[in-house]
Each structure stands twice: as C-alpha cells, then as structure tokens.
Amino acid sequence: MRTLLVSAYACEPLKGSEPAVGWNWVLQLAKFNKVHVITRANNETIINQHLSVELKDNIKFHYYDTPDFIKRLKKKDKGLYFYYFCWQIGIVKLAKRIIQKEHVDYTIHLTFGSMWMPTFLPILKTRFIWGPMGGGECVPMLCLSILPWRQKIVQTFRYLLNATTILNPFILLPVCRSKAILARTPNTKNILPAFCRKKTHVLLETAMEDNIFQYEKKVYDSTEIELIISARLISIKNIPMVIRSLKQIKTDKKWRLTILGSGPDKKIVLNEIAKQKLDNVEIIPFMAREEALKKILSSDVFVFPSLKEGGTWALMEAMAMGLPVVCFDWAGMSVETNDDTAIRLKIGKPEQMEIEMGNAISNLINSAHLRENLGRAARLRIKKVFNWDAKGAFMEQLFEDIDKLCQ
C-alpha cells in the first residue's frame, strides 16, 4: 500500500465544483492507499461528519490555516489569491513533517485545480503529480468578434498569458519536478511547455454521482420537441448564437426552446429573442435543483453552445439522463462527448457556426432515431467513463506506471 500526501485546499462533502472534486478524489485514492490530506481548517467539522467508517483507517486529514492577520485580508473573493498563496507557502512545513514521519511515496496537488494558482509541494523530495489542472481554456480566437468589448479584452489577455507559461516560475516548478501532469482539457495540455507534454495526460476532474442515473429518458418519439439550455446568461455561454440559429430550422414538427438560467446578459438574450420574432422561446430564471433535473429529463435535445469550459456538470448531467447533445468540439466539451453521443460542431467563423448549429438542431428535431441513438450512447458514456471509480482506477494505473519507470 502506497502512502500519499494530497494538497486539497478545497475539499468538502455535499458541495459542487472544486470542493466536490477534492472530496471525491481523496475518497477514491484512499480505497487503495494510505492518504494524508492537507486542507483548510474550516473544513474540519463537515469532513468529520461525513467521513465513512470504512475509509477512516486509510485517510488522515491535517488541517491548516494562515495566521489571523492574513485571514482578515480575505474578504469573500477579495484577497483570495494572496490568501491562497500564503496558505500554500504555509503548508510546506507541515508537509515536510508528514513526509518525514510517514515515509510518503507521492505528493499530489489536487485543488485548486488551476495552473495559475501556485503550489510549492514540488520542492519536497518525493514523486510529485500535478493535477488535474485547468486554466488553458479560452474562447476560440475566431469567436472573439462576437463578444462584448470587456470580454474581448479578457480573452485576449488570456491568450497572451497562455503564451508565457514557459516563463512563469510558478508553472515551471511543478512542470519540471512532476512525474506526471493531469490536464483537464487538450487546451490546457497544449499551452504547457512542449518538453513536458509526453508526461501530460488529459483527464477531466469531474464525474457524476450514481444518484443522477435514477433520471433516465425512455421516450424519444415526442409530438412536440422540447429544446433546452441550462446555463448562466453570460457572454461566453453564447446563447444569442443559438437564438439566431433557430431560423435555420426546417421541420413540420412543433418545437420550443426553454432556457434555464439567469445572469447579466438576460436583456441581451431577450432582445435577440424579440429581434428574431420568436414566441416559442422561454427563459426560466430559477428552478430548484430537483425541478430543474426533471425539466431537463422531460426535454428532447440538450443544446450547449458554450465557448469556454473545463469540466461542465450541466452537460454531463444531461448526458447521464440520456439526452442527445449539440455542442462545439472544443475545450471540456470535446472531452466529455464523442461523435456517438453528440452532434459536435467545428469551430470556425461565427456565421458558419450559427448555420451549422441550426442545421444540427433541425436534424435532431426531425429524427427520433438520431435522438435516441445519441441519447442512449451519451448515458452509457457517462456511466462508463465519467464516474469516480474510473478516476481511482486511472490513478492506480498511473502509480504503477511511474513505479516501473523509477525502478
């Protein structure tokens, strides 16, 4: 049994996003290894309440926080980066003590899973694994023209930042010292320095809990086709393009589009709906999670037009239920889907993407057979590939491969 030391700043049960990633990954690692986890002190109570008896012997949590004067600088998101930087420096001394006492085989930086957020664990004398890391995902260059000017500036800056990874000491340290790097998407892998790409594996950090599979689409031959989008109304989610694409639909069937979500671009979306003179498009700004899942399940096609994603829970949930998907073959969507589970549109000029989006939606409206084939394959893909056990199995194989190389 190996001994692992994991840095998981975010690690909490009953949460989504980064805390869920931290929690579920350490549970998987503990099935076959002795795991020491360094996490924030304020996670202690909820972790103690939910850590299963079966795994308690294999997991030991070490709780750390910065001195009070640094904590006071962190007010909500303001000061988060400085606080996180100090936290990462602070855990090095604790990590050294654990390594000396427990004879650690591997150190792993798990959360935050951003290549732009530093880790100092690579300076320690153990085999180091970095990731899964994201941060290289950008809106496609060809699509910058359709963004508002502020997002144009943000995304342009991200492209410039991505070009500097070879000069960034906080990236070079883990890149040079790691035995393996886990990148969430091909986009992140491709901006890492070329010399480290052979040891870089594309692996999404997210997976689905088993309870999502209680929702299963069984009827695909609907008389009225319900299209659905579930996303925040912000520019990178690209919802106006879908609205414009609907004029491409050629069908005798009745159809409608429901948009689940709210956000600062709601007025822009409403204006586009009015401009296209569509009376069969509805925005529902809020639904309780259970209701939202049922609404998605009762729909026929899941449209996911986002231009920038890592791992996306909304897309995976729709696929797990058995919905066919229309999305772009880009970033996290290119990892979660394949050609058997979705109509994946190529990135190109926005005008062409819009036409192809409309044609794809039209094809799905007109073919119950296509909807069923894609939907059933999507559900099967999530069951087989994007479950937490698969993450654990991947890591065990990775440890074995590294062990052999280091013999």
What would the pLDDT profile of 67-107 be if each residue is shown by its tens digit?
888 887 776 666 888 899 999 999 999 999 999 999 999 99
pLDDT for position 297: 95
Q: Is 178 helix (H, G, I), strand (E, B) or coil?
A: strand
Percentage of the chain with pLDDT > 90? Answer: 82
Based on the fold, state whether residues 398 and 358 are members of the same structural domain: no
Q: How far is CA 54 from CA 59, 207, 333, in A?
A: 10, 22, 35
Cis peptide before 112 (omega within 30 of 0): yes
pTM of the model: 0.90
Average pLDDT over residues 176-189: 95
Based on the fold, state whether residues 306 and 334 are members of the same structural domain: yes
Q: Which amino acid is at 312?
A: T
What secondary structure letter does DSSP report for 346? P
How would residue 354 be classed by pLDDT, with cut points 50, 70 and 90?
very high
Q: Is 367 helix (H, G, I), strand (E, B) or coil?
A: coil
Cα separation, 383 vs 4, whole angstroms: 28
Q: Which amino acid is at 363?
A: N
pLDDT for position 173: 95
CATH of the domain at 370: 3.40.50.2000
Based on the fold, state whether residues 39 and 186 are members of the same structural domain: yes
Range of the domain at 69: 3-207+387-406
Based on the fold, state whether residues 243 and 105 are members of the same structural domain: no
Q: Is 35 left (phi over 0), alpha (psi -120 to 50) or beta?
A: beta
Q: Which helix (H) or strand (E) holds 172?
A: helix 169-177
Based on the fold, state whether residues 327 and 357 are members of the same structural domain: yes
Based on the fold, state whether residues 179 and 232 are members of the same structural domain: no
Q: Is 81 helix (H, G, I), strand (E, B) or coil?
A: helix
pLDDT for position 77: 62
Cis peptide before 13 (omega within 30 of 0): no
Based on the fold, state whether residues 283 and 372 are members of the same structural domain: yes
Cβ 204 vs Cβ 311: under 8 Å: yes
Spatial CA neighbour of 259 closest among 239, 275, 244: 239
Give the contacts of 303 (CB within 8 A, at least 6 positions apart): 227, 228, 229, 242, 257, 325, 326, 327, 361
Average pLDDT over residues 211-225: 92
Number of neighbours of residue 161 by Cβ within 10 angstroms: 15
Total domain count, the chain: 2
Based on the fold, state whether residues 152 and 167 are members of the same structural domain: yes
Based on the fold, state whether residues 38 and 28 are members of the same structural domain: yes
pLDDT for position 48: 87
Average pLDDT over residues 389-402: 95
Spatial CA neighbour of 287 closest among 261, 263, 320: 261
Q: Within 13 Å of residue 135, how many CA atoms lie on the same side as its CB?
A: 21
Average pLDDT over residues 365-384: 96
Cα separation, 117 vs 234, whole angstroms: 24
Based on the fold, state whether residues 95 and 231 are members of the same structural domain: no
Cα separation, 74 vs 71, whole angstroms: 5
pLDDT > 90? residue 129: yes
Based on the fold, state whether residues 139 and 230 are members of the same structural domain: no
Based on the fold, state whether residues 74 and 195 are members of the same structural domain: yes
